[in-house]
Amino acid sequence: MHGDDVASAGVSVASDIILKANEIILETIKIQIDKERQRANEKQSKSKTNKLSGGEVSLKKLKSGGEIGMLPSFDKADYKELVKRAKKLDIPVAGVQDKGKANTLSVCFNTKDKAVLDSIVRDIVQEKLKQPAQAEKMITIEKPQVEGFQMYCADHDIPVNFMEAKDGVKCIFGGAYEQQINQALENYRKMQKELSKISVEVVKEKGKPKVVVTDLNDGKKLMMNFSTKVRLERMLNERLGFEPFKAAEVANVLADRLTDEQKRYFYSGSRTVEQMEYFEKDIRFEDDNILTENFSFAKMKFRNEKVPHLTITDGAENFVVLSGLGIDRAKVEQDIRKFLHIKDDETIAAIMKKAERLGFADKTLKKSFKQFTIERETLNSFTVTGGTTVLRLNLDDKEAAVKQLEETFGISRKKAERIVDKAAKQSVSANTLKRIKSILPKKENAIEHKTRERGSRK
């Protein structure tokens, strides 16, 4: 094994991978918080306060706390108690619920707080063990098997906790999951037998380190550049058909043979990174409106979801999440105003234009009247174009808008009033919108097309 070669290939970029992982985790938490916002809105249609939710406060603290770790397969039923105890100790945590999982969460935390968080989890588990015998169950497994077994449980939405003991590691789970745990153990033992016929090593080819995995069970082989552990696991899953927990065990076998420097790179990154189909941060265009400079636009899509998300964040860490499914222009504007706390129509129009360009807001509807083109940009503003002159007006002050039209274009008051009236009706009536859309050519569906306008990054 060529340790120095592997180290030089990996360690130099380990910090970049960790940074990228943290960025993606933070954006993922924003999406989770947005889901909480939606659930809260269903219970209470109108909120009279702009106070940050607990999730948003935790997000800010997580961002300022350095590297972020994740605890998978945590029991959703225990999450409130975990948050309560962590809050008393001023430790930020945030729960992310993966799509299709109803029982478990992945708990995000700052790695510097791991020892304290482990202590909190241990206390919660010990209290649960004091309950009647049928409520909580416990089995003993070997320490090297913990990660793979935990991954299996996470994939199958089985909440588990682990505690070290003299005779091994105790896996604690609810009595309701006993049958699933027994099945997990059976599958795990079967996998352990298969591992004895799997070879994994690092070799040197043309001066570059490669990972070679040979499965003697079926003769399949994988050769790839030395990579992080999570990427190796994904490739084992995609190329050799290994189940996630089996891929984790093979990766652990390789890890035992690496030097400390190699391990630093091997263990860097995050499983969340591998779940992303794509992730673009700080999206910029050469002709961006200067009013969008203080806002960060990040676009991402998870492998298990059909539509992408766009987050827009300001310098004060206020943020809004837009979905590729909900691109109704009026709704998008309402969310931007509400969560970014913007009142200036010029700034709103600039942000809306960029959201539209990225495929997260319907295009503005343009309507012609005589020689003028009327375009409703926001809920409160519209533009009127006549020749080479473009005039932006405010619908909140119709009288001022009428006078500006008269003075700028030299038209009669009656014609100016009709223009303002047409602008006001352009998106107020759902029936009018539907009728206008029916005669327009269908717009391209940004979700169905693979090509994307990426823009240049700063």
Q: What is the pLDDT of residues 324-344, one digit of tens each?
A: 887 888 889 999 999 999 988
pLDDT tens figures, 355-386: 999 999 988 766 666 778 888 878 888 888 88
Distance CA 260, CA 360 (A): 45
pLDDT of residue 452: 45
Q: The whole model's pTM is what?
A: 0.69
> What distance in Å separates the CA atoms of residue 279 and residue 265, rounded to the nearest whole number?
21
Question: Where along the chain do its domains lie?
Answer: 3-28+52-274, 276-363+444-457, 366-439
Contact 68, 111 (CB under 8 A): yes
Query: For 401-453, what is each residue's pLDDT tens digit?
Result: 898 888 888 888 888 888 888 888 876 434 334 444 444 444 443 333 343 44
Report how far residue 20's alpha carbon sits from residue 16's, in angstroms, rounded to the nearest whole number: 6
Q: How confident is the model at residue 84 (pLDDT cuts 50, 70, 90)?
A: very high
In one-letter notation, the amino acid at residue 121 is V
Residue 88 corresponds to which tokens in the numbers above? 């008393």
Q: Which is more confidently placed, 14 or 458?
A: 14
Tens of pLDDT, residue by residue over 233-250, are 999 999 999 988 889 889
100-148 pLDDT per residue, tens:
788 998 899 999 999 999 999 999 988 888 877 668 888 998 887 888 8
| Helix ranges (DSSP H) in 196-255 | 229-240, 244-255
Task: Enter the DSSP assignment of 289.
Answer: -
Pair 327, 362: CB distance under 8 Å: yes
